[in-house]
Amino acid sequence: MPESYEAKEIQVLEGKEAVRKRPAMYIGDISTRGLHHLVYEAVDNAIDEALAGVCTVISVTVHKDGSVTVEDNGRGIPVEPHPRFPEMSALTVVMTKLHAGGKFDKRAYKVSGGLHGVGISVVNALSSQLRVEVSRNNKVYMQRFERGEPVSKLEVVGESSHTGTKVQFLPDSEIFQETAFKMEILAARLRELAFLNKGIAITLEDERIGKRLEFHYEGGIVSFVKYLNENKTIIHPIVSFEKVKEDFELSLAFQYNDDFNEAVFSFVNMIHTTEGGTHLSGFKAAMTRALNQYAEKLKMDLKVSSDDILEGMAAILAVRVREPQFEGQTKTKLGNSEVKGMVDSMVYEFVSSYLEETPAVGRVIMNKVLTAARSREAAKKARDLARRKGALNHGSLPGKLADCQEEDPSLCELYLVEGDSAGGSAKQGRNREFQAILPLRGKILNVEKSRIDKIFSSGEIVNIITALGTGIGEEFDSSKIRYHKIVIMTDADIDGAHITTLLLTFFYRYMKEIIDKGYLYIAQPPLYRVRKKNHVFYAYDDAKLELLLSKIGRDKITLQRYKGLGEMNPAQLWQTTMNPEHRTLLQVTVEDAVEADKIFTILMGDAVEPRREFIQEHAKEVVDLDI
C-alpha cells in the first residue's frame, strides 16, 4: 500500500526556511562559488547605492574567524517602522523577508544589480551569525541575527556624523561544504566593480594573511581595456563611447592587439554575464555589419564573420537596463530580446561613424580582421585536409589511444600522459573498463603564439581533438565529448609543469567550455615513496612527507623521490595516481576569466619582461624546484 498523501503532507516553506532547505536555488551551489556569492550579494547592495550616486567608498574585510564585513558610505538602510509590518523596522524587513528591498521601487533605484530583492536576506538566512549597523539620522543603529532570525531588537548604539551600512556575517558551516574565503576570488569581483564604477574606491583586506588591496580607476572601462592589454602589443588607441536612451545605458570600450585570442567581457547592471546574452549578440552583429560595410567601401574582397572581428580584441561591453531578465538568481545570461536591437543600432551607428572619421585606425582594424578571416579560410582548408587524411574522423581514433570499454561519456576518463614510458605503465596499470590512455610525445604546440590553422599541423593536438570527439573552432560541440574526465598526468618536474601549462593553454583558448563544465583535471602523483619494514607509504608533497615521518619515525626507512611517472611500475601508478579510491585529482576551474587571460598571456606570450617579473614576484611560493 502506498503511504498516505493528504493535504497535511503538503509542506509550505517560507522565507529563511526555503533558503536553508534549497540554498543552491538562490546562490548557485553550497561550495566555493556559493560561498563567495554571499559577499557579492552584500557588495551589490553597496554598488546599488553607488549607481544611485550616493556611495563613493566600499570596504570588504575578511576576518580571522572566517567572517566577512562589507561596509559602505551610502544612505544607510531605513530603520523606521515598515508600513506593511508596523511592528518591524524596515531594516528588519529587509534582513528577514525575501523579495523585500528598494529595488522594486524605481524612485529609490533607477537601475540595480540586486534585482531579485533576495540578496541580503539570503545572506542572513545562510549565516550562523550576522550583525548589521546602520548610520543614519546622526545615530548608529545595530541589530543581530542568527540563521536569519533576529536575536536582538534594533537599538541605538552610538552617534554618527555620516551615513552608511555595515554588515558582518559568518557563513553557516551546517550549510556550506567550504567556509574559507579566497582572497583572489573576491579580488577578481571587486576589481571588476571598481572598473565598472568610474571613480569609486573599493578596498579588500584579509586579516588572516595581513594583505590589503585597493581598486580605484578614474578611467572606468577604458582603464579596464588597458588592463586587459597590459602585456600585449596594441595596434591602435582605445575606442570608446557611452550612450543613454531613456532607461537604457550602454558603455563600450575596445582595442585590438597583435594576439590571436579574444578578451571580450560583458556586464549588465554591474553583473558579469559570463554566458553573454542578447547584449553581446547585438554587439557582435553590429561590429560584423559595420566592418563588412567598411570593407566594401575599401573594395576588399573578403567577407568577415563575428569570429573574425573578435580575434585579438580586448573589449568591455556594459549595459544598464531597468528591467533585465536574467537566467536564474546567479545572473549569467541576459535574455531581454529588445536589448539586442538597441545595442546593435547604437554600436553600429558609432563604429560606422568612427571608421569614417578615423581612417588611419579604421584601416589598421580592417587589416587585422581581414587577416583573421584569411586565417579562418586557411584553418578550414587545413581541417578539411586533416579530415581527408582520416586524422579528424570520429570513427578513426588515434593509433596511440588505448581506449576504454565503457561507452557512456559520464563514466569515462581520458588520461593525457607525458611520454611513451609513462604511457606504457598507465596502459598496463589502468582499469580498462572506464580509463583511456593517450600518450603525448614531448611538448605540444604553444597555441598562445599560433592561429588555429597552425594547430592542424601539430600531430599531438590533432590526436587530442580526435580522441575527445568534440571538433574544434567553428565545429566545436561539447555535447559530443567522449569523456567527462580528462586528466593531465605529467612528471612532477619543470618539463612536466611546462607540458601541463601548454595543455592548459590549449584547453583554455580553444575548448574553454570543457573547463567550464568541470571536465578537466590534473593528476597529483606522489613525490615520495617511503618503505619501513614491510610497509610502503606515499607522500604527495614535502609537508605530507614530514607529517608521515613524524608518525612512523625516521629510523630504518627507505626514501625514494620520484623524478617522473616512468619510475613507477604499473601497480604503483594505479594505486597512487589512477585508482579512484586513493588518487587525488585537482579539478581545473576558472574563477576569474580576466586574470586567467592575463596569466596565460604572461606565461606563454612573446613579452619576456612581464614573465620575468611574474617569476620574481612568485618565486618564494615555489615548493619544488628541479635544478
Q: Indicate which residues carry an active-site annotation.
A: 418, 491, 493, 495
Question: How far apart (Å, rounded) are the C-alpha atoms in residues 269 and 278?
Answer: 14
Q: Closest Cα partner for 118 from 9, 16, 21, 246?
A: 16
Element (H, E) at 613: helix 608-618
Tell me the sheet residues that pair with 462.
none
Q: Coil, helix or strand for 621?
A: helix
Sign of CA dihedral 323, 327, 332, 338: negative
Question: How far apart (Å, rounded) are the C-alpha atoms in residues 586 and 492?
Answer: 14
Three-point CA angle 449, 455, 459, nearest 5°? 125
Question: How far apart (Å, rounded) are the C-alpha atoms in residues 243 and 252?
Answer: 9
**All residues at 6 or more sequence positions from 39 whose CB lies less than 8 Å from its CB, including other chains:** 60, 68, 70, 181, 186, 189
- Residue 591 is given by DSSP the state S
In the chain, the amino acid numbered 479 is S
Question: How far apart (Å, rounded) are the C-alpha atoms in residues 217 and 211?
Answer: 20
**All residues at 6 or more sequence positions from 202 whose CB lies less than 8 Å from its CB, including other chains:** 57, 58, 59, 60, 190, 193, 194, 214, 215, 216
- Residue 115 is given by DSSP the state T
For cell 570596504, the residue is: 59
Q: How many CB atoms lie within 10 A of CB 612?
A: 11
Which cell numbers in the block locate residue 19?
Answer: 533558503
Question: How far apart (Å, rounded) are the C-alpha atoms in residues 110 and 51?
Answer: 8
Question: How far apart (Å, rounded) are the C-alpha atoms in residues 251 and 111?
Answer: 15
Contact criterion met (CB below 8 Å) for 116 and 99? yes
Question: How far apart (Å, rounded) are the C-alpha atoms in residues 83 and 89?
Answer: 9
User: Pairing between strand 263-268 and 485-489?
Assistant: unpaired
Spell out the SS3 assignment of 154-180.
CEEEEECCCCEEEEEEEECCCCCCCCC
Contact criterion met (CB below 8 Å) for 404 and 435? yes
Contact criterion met (CB below 8 Å) for 213 and 187? yes
Q: What are phi and psi of 164, to 5 degrees?
A: 155, 175
- Residue 81 is given by DSSP the state B
| Cα–Cα distance list, 596 to 272, 544, 589 (Å) | 15, 29, 10
Q: Coil, helix or strand for 170?
A: strand
Contact criterion met (CB below 8 Å) for 606 and 232? no
Tell me the sheet residues that pair with 586.
522
**All residues at 6 or more sequence positions from 530 whose CB lies less than 8 Å from its CB, including other chains:** 536, 537, 538, 539, 545, 548, 549, 552, 557, 558, 559, 560
